Structure 1
Amino acid sequence: MASEESRPLLDPGEPNAECKVQNKNLYLATFAAVLGPLSFGFVLGFSSPAIPALKKSNNLELRLDDNEASWFGSVVTLGAAAGGILGGCVVDKAGRKLTLMLCSLPYVLGFLIIIAAQDVWMLYAGRLLSGVASGVTSLVVPVYISEISHSKVRGTLGSCVQLMVVTGILGSYAAGMVLDWHWLAVVCSLPPCAMLAFMIFMPETPRFLLNRNQRPEAMAALQFLRGPQVDHEWERRQIEANAEDPGFSVAEFKNPAVYKPFLIGVTMMFFQQVTGVNAIMFYAETIFEDANFKNSSVAPVIVGVIQVLFTALAALIIDRTGRKILLIVSGFIMAISTAAFGMYFKTMPLSSGNSSHLESLTPPNLMLLQEENHLAWLAVVSLGLFIAGFAIGWGPIPWLVMSEIFPLRARGVASGACVLTNWFMAFLVTKEFHDLTGFLTSYGTFWLFSATCILNVIFTVLCVPETKGRTLEQIEAHFRRAR
Structure 2
Amino acid sequence: MDEPSERRRLLDAEGAEQDPAGRESEQDVYLSKVQNRKLYLATLASVLGPMSFGFVLGYSSPALPELTHIADPRLRLDNVQASWFGSIVAMGAAVGGLLGGWLVDKIGRKLTLMFCSLPFVFGFTVIIAAQNVWMLYAGRVLTGLASGVTSLVVPLYISEMAHERVRGTLGSCVQLMVVLGIMGVYLAGLFLDWRWLAICCSVPPTLLMVCMCFMPETPRFLLSQGKRREAENALRFLRGPDAPVEWECARIADACQERSSGLRMSDLKDPGVYKPLVIGVMLMVFQQMTGINAIMFYAENIFEQAHFKESDLASVIVGLIQVVFTAVAALIMDKAGRKVLLIISGVAMVISNAAFGVYFYLITKPNAGVSLGLLSAASEEPQADLAWLALASMAVFIAGFALGWGPIPWLVMSEIFPVNVRGFASAVCVLTNWGMAFLVTKSFQDMMSLLTSAGTFWLFASMCILNVVFTIAFIPETKGKTLEQIEATFRGASSRP
Structure 2: which amino acid aligns with 1:457?
V
Question: Partners in 2 of 1:75 and 1:292 — Cα distance?
Answer: 28
Q: 1:420 matched to which residue of 2?
A: 431
Question: Partners in 2 of 1:478 and 1:96 — Cα distance?
Answer: 25
Deviations 1:453-480 (A, max 9, x none): 0000000001101000000011111112
Q: 1:333 matched to which residue of 2?
A: 348
Task: Report if aligned partners of 1:256, 1:482 keep a CA contact under 8 Å in 2.
Answer: no
- Percent identity between matched residues is 63
Indicate whether 1:100 and 2:100 are aligned.
no
* Aligned partner (choices 427, 439, 458) of residue 450 of structure 2: 439
Q: Tell me the SS of whatever aligns to 2:71.
A: coil
What displacement does 1:440 show? 0.3
Task: Report if aligned partners of 2:95, 2:431 keep a CA contact under 8 Å in 1.
Answer: yes
Indicate whether 1:89 and 2:102 are aligned.
yes
Question: Partners in 2 of 1:65 and 1:453 — Cα distance?
Answer: 32
Question: Partners in 1 of 2:388 and 2:93 — Cα distance?
Answer: 35
Question: Partners in 2 of 1:11 and 1:308 — Cα distance?
Answer: 38
Q: 2:363 matched to which residue of 1?
A: 348
What displacement does 1:250 show? 2.5
Q: 2:88 matched to which residue of 1?
A: 75
Question: Partners in 2 of 1:470 and 1:28 — Cα distance?
Answer: 23
Structure 2: which amino acid aligns with 1:229?
D
Indicate whether 1:247 and 2:259 are aligned.
no
Deviations 1:195-253 (A, max 9, x none): 11100000000000011111111111000000011111100111011222232123210
Q: 1:275 matched to which residue of 2?
A: 290
What displacement does 1:162 show? 0.2
Task: Report if aligned partners of 2:54, 2:180 keep a CA contact under 8 Å in 1.
Answer: yes
Q: 1:322 matched to which residue of 2?
A: 337
Question: Partners in 2 of 1:74 and 1:373 — Cα distance?
Answer: 33
Task: Report if aligned partners of 1:329, 1:393 keep a CA contact under 8 Å in 2.
Answer: yes
TM-score (norm 2): 0.91
Query: Within 5 Å, which residues of 2 pair with 1:239-318?
Result: 239-243=252-256, 244-318=259-333
Task: Report if aligned partners of 2:374, 2:449 keep a CA contact under 8 Å in 1.
Answer: no
Q: 2:383 matched to which residue of 1?
A: 372
Query: Within 5 Å, which residues of 2 pair with 1:199-210?
Result: 199-210=212-223
* Aligned partner (choices 213, 229, 237) of residue 216 of structure 1: 229
Aligned length: 466
Q: Tell me the SS of whatever aligns to 1:13.
A: helix
Q: 2:239 matched to which residue of 1?
A: 226
Q: 1:455 matched to which residue of 2?
A: 466
Deviations 1:408-453 (A, max 9, x none): 0000000000000000000000000000010000000000000000
Change (3 A) 1:229 1:75: same
Deviations 1:136-170 (A, max 9, x none): 00000000000000000000000000000000000
Indicate whether 1:60 and 2:73 are aligned.
yes
Question: Partners in 2 of 1:48 and 1:246 — Cα distance?
Answer: 45
Q: 1:3 matched to which residue of 2?
A: none
Q: 2:191 matched to which residue of 1?
A: 178
Question: Partners in 2 of 1:122 and 1:332 — Cα distance?
Answer: 42
Deviations 1:279-310 (A, max 9, x none): 00000000011111121111110000000000
What displacement does 1:372 show? 1.5
Question: Partners in 1 of 2:316 and 2:264 — Cα distance?
Answer: 46
Q: 2:410 matched to which residue of 1?
A: 399
* Structure 1 gaps, min length 5: 1-8
- Over the aligned positions, Cα root-mean-square deviation in angstroms equals 1.8
Task: Report if aligned partners of 2:373, 2:449 keep a CA contact under 8 Å in 1.
Answer: no
Task: Report if aligned partners of 2:373, 2:445 keep a CA contact under 8 Å in 1.
Answer: no
Question: Partners in 1 of 2:294 and 2:373 — Cα distance?
Answer: 17
What displacement does 1:374 show? 2.6
Question: Which segment is superposed worse, 51-60 or 17-26?
Answer: 17-26
Structure 2: which amino acid aligns with 1:341?
F
Question: Partners in 1 of 2:429 and 2:260 — Cα distance?
Answer: 23
Question: Partners in 1 of 2:290 and 2:255 — Cα distance?
Answer: 37
Task: Report if aligned partners of 1:334, 1:389 keep a CA contact under 8 Å in 2.
Answer: yes
Q: 1:47 matched to which residue of 2?
A: 60
Task: Report if aligned partners of 2:356, 2:390 keep a CA contact under 8 Å in 1.
Answer: yes
Question: Partners in 1 of 2:115 and 2:215 — Cα distance?
Answer: 14
Task: Report if aligned partners of 2:357, 2:458 keep a CA contact under 8 Å in 1.
Answer: yes
Task: Report if aligned partners of 1:163, 1:308 keep a CA contact under 8 Å in 2.
Answer: yes
Question: Partners in 1 of 2:471 and 2:373 — Cα distance?
Answer: 37
Change (3 A) 1:127 1:24: same
Question: Which segment is superposed worse, 154-163 or 214-223?
Answer: 214-223
Question: Partners in 2 of 1:353 and 1:236 — Cα distance?
Answer: 57
Question: Partners in 2 of 1:100 and 1:237 — Cα distance?
Answer: 26
